[in-house]
């Protein structure tokens, strides 16, 4: 979340940046935050003054008793008692104001960076470039939702029977291809110096608030009510929360982690080809990279993460494009985000497979994730994350783009992981 001191010192910049997110009455929202902070500060000062007065008066009591001034001592005791009652009352007011302020800040998103374009939705994202050759498919080529039935590698009907819509079964070579992609992504990340982590797939409420899924995405998360736990929407949540409430040493930064998990999202989406088959699921697999850096290193880290995601798409032989997200399409945490989309030849459309975001110190402030700088001063770290990669649409593009009359050709880099080079 944003720091109040930053908002106060950069009010116009904050308002101008948040206008890119199309937030109604943003000026009034920011003013209400600052007014609440003023009230909190005033309450804190009054409480501290009352506490100091109570301490001073309490010290006087002993002297008065020794001097035989019993009545004055009793009066001092009564005054001290009143002051302590006032301190308690002001402390409760302060706690209420502090929580109210925190709740307001939880709902204010990160300020987009200056290069982020204005826009209301993904239709306003800016394509920076595209690379790779779009395959020309033979006549009669099919979308992946027909291919998976043809080759019996993914079963949506069985998933619907056992669980519900959006929870498919992967079978035979479909399951092996899925596993091969996971292993390929993990091996590549480890080669690049990321620490492999296998995290829990359920988290507590504090973790949800720490990385910003709560309260922003509460309705999209699966909630285990009896235990007050949440199924994770991405490995970013448990991995980043490894560092919650930590003060790291600057020499230990960056912290670069990679993890594979299933991901769970309740989003229903719309009807149509954009959500058919593997295009949108309630449970899917994803390999996630997370980076914790010093502030001066985060932009370089962001570029390196984007380059790494591109290298995976190149090795898989998938045509792709990179998009700069507009203000209206940024997540609550992101100050800057690039999306990578692969081209699905059979569907003749682009499919998002990765978002690589720099959160700057916004998420770290929620997490209380800090480090000691060269002057031994405590500073907020910067956090970044990216999909490397999300499997369903990668799998869809591989099936569609590599279909031949003889079957589906497996990308060469995956053959050592699958043990076969064709699905037929």
Beta bridge partners of 339: 323, 355
Q: Are 101 and 132 in a shared domain? A: no
pLDDT in tens, 132-170: 999 999 888 999 999 999 999 999 999 999 999 999 999
Average pLDDT, stretch 324-337? 98
Q: What angle do CA 92, 95, 100 make, to 5 degrees?
A: 125
The reported pTM is 0.93
Residue 271 has pLDDT above 60, yes or no: no
Q: Are 101 and 128 in a shared domain? A: no
Enter the tokens of residue 222.
């699966």
Q: Is residue 67 part of a domain?
A: yes
In contact, 328 and 21? CB cutoff 8 Å: yes
**What's the CA gap between 417 and 400, in Å, rounded?**
20
**pLDDT score, position 62:** 84
**pLDDT score, position 228:** 95
Average pLDDT, stretch 394-407? 97
Residues that constitute the known binding site for ATP: 265-267, 352-355
pLDDT range class, residue 273, cuts 50, 70, 90: low
pLDDT in tens, 54-101: 999 988 988 888 888 888 888 889 999 999 999 999 999 999 999 999
Average pLDDT, stretch 290-319? 98
**pLDDT score, position 330:** 98
Q: Are 160 and 299 in a shared domain? A: yes
**Cis preceding linkage at 254, omega within 30:** yes
**Structural domains in the chain (count):** 2
Q: Is residue 351 part of a domain?
A: yes
pLDDT range class, residue 270, cuts 50, 70, 90: very low
In contact, 290 and 383? CB cutoff 8 Å: yes
Which residues, at least 6 apart from 280, have a Cβ–Cβ distance to it below 8 Å?
166, 267, 269, 274, 392
Q: Are 89 and 155 in a shared domain? A: no
Q: Is residue 127 part of a domain?
A: yes
- Of the residues 76, 106, 136, which one is the last residue of a structural domain? 106
Q: Are 96 and 126 in a shared domain? A: no
User: CATH number, domain at 92?
Assistant: 1.10.287.40
- Of the residues 77, 106, 135, which one is the last residue of a structural domain? 106
Which residues, at least 6 apart from 312, have a Cβ–Cβ distance to it below 8 Å?
185, 188, 388, 389
Q: Give one DSSP letter per residue of 124-186, joined into a string.
A: G-EEEEEESPPP-PPTT---HHHHHHHTT-EEHHHHHHHT-TT-PEE-HHHHHHHHHHHHHHH
Q: Is residue 112 part of a domain?
A: no
Average pLDDT, stretch 122-140? 95
**pLDDT score, position 334:** 98
Q: Is residue 199 part of a domain?
A: yes
Average pLDDT, stretch 196-205? 98
Average pLDDT, stretch 105-134? 97
Residue 16 has pLDDT above 90, yes or no: yes
Residue 274 has pLDDT above 70, yes or no: no
Residues that constitute the known binding site: 234, 265-267, 288, 352-355, 385
Q: Are 57 and 134 in a shared domain? A: no
Q: Are 277 and 346 in a shared domain? A: yes
Residue % of the chain over a pLDDT of 90: 90
Q: Are 162 and 96 in a shared domain? A: no
End-to-end, the C-alpha distance of the chain in Å comes to 51
Lowest-pLDDT choice from 215-224, 245-254, 306-315? 215-224
Which residues, at least 6 apart from 179, have a Cβ–Cβ distance to it below 8 Å?
417
Q: Are 95 and 193 in a shared domain? A: no
Q: Are 284 and 354 in a shared domain? A: yes
Residue 251 has pLDDT above 50, yes or no: yes
Average pLDDT, stretch 11-18? 98
Domain that holds residue 353: 122-423
Residue 318 has pLDDT above 80, yes or no: yes
What is the rounded (10 degree) CA torsion for 311, 254, 362, 236? Answer: 60
Place of tokens 């290069």: 115
Q: Is residue 317 part of a domain?
A: yes
Average pLDDT, stretch 51-55? 94
**What's the CA gap between 124 and 325, in Å, rounded?**
8
**What's the CA gap between 249 and 227, in Å, rounded?**
34
Q: Is residue 115 part of a domain?
A: no
Q: Are 102 and 140 in a shared domain? A: no
Residue % of the chain over a pLDDT of 70: 98
**What's the CA gap between 123 and 256, in Å, rounded?**
32
Residues that constitute the known binding site for L-serine: 234, 265, 288, 385
**pLDDT score, position 107:** 96
For helices 298-316 and 172-191, the axis angle rounded to 10 degrees is: 140
User: CATH number, domain at 366?
Assistant: 3.30.930.10
Mean pLDDT over all residues of the chain? 95
- Of the residues 41, 76, 106, which one is the last residue of a structural domain? 106
Average pLDDT, stretch 319-341? 98
Q: Are 418 and 285 in a shared domain? A: yes
Q: Is residue 111 part of a domain?
A: no
């Amino acid at each position: 979340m944003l720091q109040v001191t930053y908002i106060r010192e950069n009010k116009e910049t904050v308002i101008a940046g948040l206008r890119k997110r199309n937030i109604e009455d943003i000026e009034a929202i920011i003013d209400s935050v600052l007014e609440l902070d003023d009230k909190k500060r005033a309450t804190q000062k009054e409480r501290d003054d009352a506490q100091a007065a109570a301490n001073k008066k309490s010290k006087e009591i002993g002297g008065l008793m020794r001097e035989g001034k019993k009545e004055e001592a009793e009066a001092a005791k009564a005054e001290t008692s009143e002051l302590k009652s006032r301190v308690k009352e002001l402390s409760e007011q302060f706690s209420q104001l502090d929580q109210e302020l925190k709740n307001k800040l939880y709902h204010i998103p990160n300020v987009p960076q200056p290069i982020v374009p204005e826009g209301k939705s993904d239709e306003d994202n800016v394509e920076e470039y595209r690379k790779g050759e779009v395959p020309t498919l033979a006549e009669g080529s099919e979308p992946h939702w027909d291919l998976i039935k043809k080759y019996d590698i993914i079963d949506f009907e069985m998933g619907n029977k056992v669980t519900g819509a959006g929870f498919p079964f992967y079978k035979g070579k479909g399951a092996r291809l899925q596993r091969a992609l996971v292993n390929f992504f993990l091996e590549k990340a480890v080669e690049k110096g990321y620490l492999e982590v296998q995290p829990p797939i359920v988290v507590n409420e504090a973790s949800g608030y720490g990385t910003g899924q709560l309260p922003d995405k509460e309705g999209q998360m699966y909630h285990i009510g009896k235990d007050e736990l949440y199924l994770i929407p991405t490995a970013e949540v448990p991995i980043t929360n490894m560092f919650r409430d930590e003060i790291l040493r600057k020499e230990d930064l960056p912290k670069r982690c990679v993890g594979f998990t299933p991901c769970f999202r309740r989003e229903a989406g719309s009807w149509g080809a954009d959500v058919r088959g593997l295009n949108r699921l309630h449970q899917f697999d994803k390999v996630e990279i997370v980076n914790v850096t010093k502030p001066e290193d985060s932009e370089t880290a962001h570029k390196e993460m984007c380059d790494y995601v591109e290298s995976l798409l190149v090795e898989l032989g998938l045509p792709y494009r990179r998009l700069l997200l507009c203000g209206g399409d940024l997540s609550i945490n992101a100050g800057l985000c690039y999306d990578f989309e692969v081209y699905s030849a059979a569907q003749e459309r682009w499919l998002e497979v990765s978002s690589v975001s720099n959160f700057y110190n916004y998420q770290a402030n929620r997490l209380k994730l800090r480090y000691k700088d060269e002057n031994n001063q405590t500073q907020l770290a910067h956090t970044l994350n990216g999909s490397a990669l999300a499997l369903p649409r990668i799998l869809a593009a591989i099936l569609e783009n590599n279909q031949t009359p003889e079957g589906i050709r497996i990308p060469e880099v995956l053959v050592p992981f699958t043990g076969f080079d064709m699905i037929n």
